[in-house]
Amino acid sequence: MKTILQTQKCFGCGACAAACPKFFEMNKDGKAHLKNSTLNPETNEEKLEAEGTDCIQEAVDVCPAQCIKIVN
C-alpha cells in the first residue's frame, strides 16, 4: 500500500493536515507534505509506503484538489 501526494496540484487549503495530522503537515511553501515520504523530483510526487491507511483515506476524501491517492 502506497500513498502518493501530487504536490504540483496542491493549493494549500490545509484540509489533509487537519484530517490526518499523523501523516500530513503543511510546508513553509504553503503546500502539503506527506511525512517521511520520498520526493520524485521529476514529477513532484511524494510517495510513502504505509502500513494500513489510518486516517489517510479521510485526507483523500477531504482534498478538494484530488491530489492524494492510495495505490496498491
Q: Say if residues 56 and 20 touch (Cβ distance below 8 Å).
A: yes
By the rule CB under 6 A, 15 interacts with ligand SF4: yes
Work out whether 56 is an interface residue with ligand SF4 (CB under 6 A): no
Residue 65 engages ligand SF4 in binding (rule: CB under 6 A): yes
Express the helix, strand and coil content of the chain in percent, nearest 5 each. 20, 30, 45
Q: Which stretch binds ligand SF4 (CB under 6 A): 12-20, 36-44, 50-58?
A: 12-20
How many CB atoms sit inside 10 A of residue 61's CB? 13
- Binding residues for ligand SF4 (CB under 6 A): 10-16, 32, 62-65, 67-68
